[in-house]
Structure 1
Amino acid sequence: MVKNQITILGIMSGTSLDGLDLAETFFSRESNKASWSFELNKCETIPYPKELSHRLRHAIELSEEGIQKLDIDLGVFIGKSINKFLGTRSQMVDCVASHGHTVFHQPEKGITVQIGSGEEIYNHCQISVINNFRVADVKAGGQGAPLVPIGDRDLFATYDFALNLGGIANISFEKEGKRVAFDICPFNMALNYLANEKGLPYDSEGKIAATGRINESLLSELSQLPYLSQRGPKSLGIEDYQKNWLPLLKNSSISLEDKMATFIEHSAMEIASTINENKGKKVLVTGGGAYHQFFISRLKTYSRADIVLPESKIIEFKEALIFAYLGLLRLEGRPNCLSSVTGAEYDVSAGDLIGF
């Protein structure tokens, strides 16, 4: 049985490849109570070395052997990053919960692959590790994503919607007494691609996008992509972005500024449509996209709900925090993947245990 106080280091590597997010999270509860409260202690994003970042960005193109090597190398990097992050405080942490980095996500084929070897993490930091959270849900017939909604439900219950703006924009909320969630559209993976074309890592605060003009032709093409009209459960991977959204952005002859402005309009309309359709008063917005002031202004234009930006720690590290929570639920043997979210046949308690 899990004690009533525990510290777990949650680790997240997102599709936007901003870096490795580490969130040291203290969980506590009253005796004989099932619900947990949390306190975020030290948090940090550690940038990827250029060579590793390049390999991760192009991982989908690697051979099986290349992916296995990258799995090991990323695990080593994560383990060393944990040591650097904790310093002499490693005894303060009970275990590590690592999402890993998604290479393939094709749940309709029963495939989802997250790399970042748990064995290598453990070998280098000597702290017990929980990882590989998605596979059990996919085996149960689910999407294996999104996984964060159970944390939205349990840790952020005062909000009607939890919107995360990472590489992909996803949302979760209660509907007919059950938690539902799905990916809405690509976000930072598209916006960062456009910023990269201008030699920038990202468009700070959306200042460049704000100078562009909306192109109705591109906006119409984006809005007609088949994924957008599908009902959940549904999820997106980098493959979907590369197949459907990226060609439209690449092939358009308009300026980069206009592409950015148009993509922002597309995202704001799609996300607001989901919010308005499902009703609710408060939207918690997290992820790097929360700092995109131009997008937030457009979302507020279309949404009928109150758009709430929390403190920066929550904006930047909510996903890492929730993976720490998923690890905690795994230790308790309680479900950490909701079938109402993923479409699986049943709820599962997922995650490989290493070093316990």
Structure 2
Amino acid sequence: MKIENYNVIGVMSGTSLDGIDLVYVNFSKDGKWSFLVKNSETVGYIEKWRGILKKATHLNEVELAQLDKEYTVFLAEVIKGFKLKNNLQEIDFVASHGHTVFHKPDQGETYQIGNLPILADLLGEKVICDFRVEDVALGGQGAPLVPIGDQLLFGEYDYCLNLGGFANISFDDSGVRKAFDICAVNTVLNHYVAKLDLDFDDGGKMASKGAVHDGLLKELNALEFYKKPFPKSLGIEWVESKVFPLIDSYNKLQVVDILRTYVEHVAQQIGAVVELPSNILITGGGAYNTFLIKRLKALTDAILIIPNKNVVEFKEAVIFALLGVLRERNEVNCLKSITGASKDHSSGKIYLPKS
């Protein structure tokens, strides 16, 4: 008989480089899965690490391997600090996403650092990690992986929309879960608001002061990615090669106008995906961008639900913990209907500590 109760540390580092999200969460199954977040924390990156991770896509193979080792050691220290701070004793395993350096599924490549076997040794815990690689090897996008958690934990909503480094959405379509990345969000907004010496645009206040530039907005909406059918996913290299050069070509635009135009672009791209009437669960850091939410409401007229802090800020960490539970049970945690892989499968590497 399978265990129906698990205590897991879930770990997630997003592309927006806000920091490392950690949760200590209990999962129980009584017909359906339920969860309780017992402890949660975001450990912000110091400037050194933020700078290193921003440049990681440009490293050669040897440099990247070295960074992987260093980041794995760093990640272990962060997780051990979380365990100690919260006096966590009952841990079935740690489920960790790692940090995405590049994601090129169309070329059969995806790489998340921090997923080396030494993580289990350093923590003295079983570790389940590296969830994307197998899916890409099976011809899938390796992303998004969160939607199966949306289905199992948040199935009462018409749409689950995450506004993080990228916007991704999942929904039920005639009994089949569908999901895909919509567009970049905080990877772009944070990049430009940094020119004002800010880490992020608090509440979208700076964007709200700007004006929409119709020419830039039209060109952003015309990007080829938006015409592709799903399954489809995005990585930071797409932003660096397609979005930044386009925005930077409008070199006379004020930062507030760039922010305002990009917020409108995000709201329009999301609005183009959502069918009405509907309710939308919104999570991720972008849920706190009240100006973006206001524009989204105006363009969709959907019911927008922003849940409690643990769900807004830590939903992805919770769901990667659930992916670990499903992998531990050898149950499907990756759906071909979402990623385009050749089959549904149970993805993730399992590492046991040597001692």
Aligned length: 351
Q: Which residue matches 1:121?
A: 119
Sequence identity percentage: 44
Pick from 237, 250, 253 the counterpart of residue 248 of structure 2: 250
SS in 2 for 1:36: strand
Q: Which residue matches 1:63?
A: 60
Cα displacement (A) at 1:280: 4.7
| CA distance in 1 between partners of 2:49 and 2:259 (Å) | 27
**Residues 298-329 of structure 1: per-residue CA shift (max 9 Å, x gap):** 00001132111000111000000000000000
| CA distance in 2 between partners of 1:201 and 1:177 (Å) | 41
Structure 2 residue runs of 5 or longer lacking an equivalent are none
**Residues 125-153 of structure 1: per-residue CA shift (max 9 Å, x gap):** 11110111001111111000000000000
| CA distance in 1 between partners of 2:285 and 2:181 (Å) | 16
**Residues 148-168 of structure 1: per-residue CA shift (max 9 Å, x gap):** 000000000110100001101
| CA distance in 2 between partners of 1:117 and 1:184 (Å) | 27
Q: Which residue matches 2:16?
A: 16
**Residues 18-66 of structure 1: per-residue CA shift (max 9 Å, x gap):** 0000011101123xx4x31110110000012322221111100111111
Matched, 1:305 2:302: yes
Cα displacement (A) at 1:117: 3.1
Taking structure 1 as the reference length, the TM-score comes to: 0.96
Kindly report which structure 2 residues correspond to 1:185-196, keeping only aligned pairs within 5 A, or say none.
185-196=183-194
| CA distance in 1 between partners of 2:60 and 2:140 (Å) | 26
Kindly report which structure 2 residues correspond to 1:169-318, keeping only aligned pairs within 5 A, or say none.
169-252=167-250, 253-276=252-275, 279-318=276-315
| CA distance in 1 between partners of 2:350 and 2:337 (Å) | 25
Taking structure 2 as the reference length, the TM-score comes to: 0.96
SS in 1 for 2:274: helix
* RMSD of Structure 2 on Structure 1 (CA): 1.2
Please say if residues 161 and 172 of structure 1, whose CA atoms lie closer than 8 Å, have aligned partners that are also in contact. yes
Cα displacement (A) at 1:2: 4.1
Q: Which residue matches 2:47?
A: 50
Please say if residues 115 and 130 of structure 2, whose CA atoms lie closer than 8 Å, have aligned partners that are also in contact. no
| CA distance in 2 between partners of 1:229 and 1:140 (Å) | 24
| CA distance in 2 between partners of 1:243 and 1:50 (Å) | 24
Q: Which residue matches 2:90?
A: 92
Question: What amino acid maps onto 2:194 in structure 1?
Answer: N
Q: Which residue matches 2:27?
A: 27
Q: Which runs of 4+ in 1 moved over 6 A?
A: none
Structure 1 residue runs of 5 or longer lacking an equivalent are none
**Residues 158-208 of structure 1: per-residue CA shift (max 9 Å, x gap):** 101000011011000011220000000000000000111111111111000
Cα displacement (A) at 1:123: 2.2
| CA distance in 1 between partners of 2:208 and 2:88 (Å) | 45
**Residues 60-90 of structure 1: per-residue CA shift (max 9 Å, x gap):** 0111111111111111111111111111734
Answer with 45-54 or 56-65: which moved more: 45-54
Question: What amino acid maps onto 1:225 in structure 2?
Answer: L
Question: What amino acid maps onto 1:10 in structure 2?
Answer: G
Question: What amino acid maps onto 2:266 in structure 1?
Answer: S
| CA distance in 1 between partners of 2:97 and 2:315 (Å) | 13
Cα displacement (A) at 1:93: 1.4
**Residues 208-264 of structure 1: per-residue CA shift (max 9 Å, x gap):** 000000010110110110111111000001111111111122121211000000000
Q: Which residue matches 1:336?
A: 333
| CA distance in 2 between partners of 1:27 and 1:323 (Å) | 12
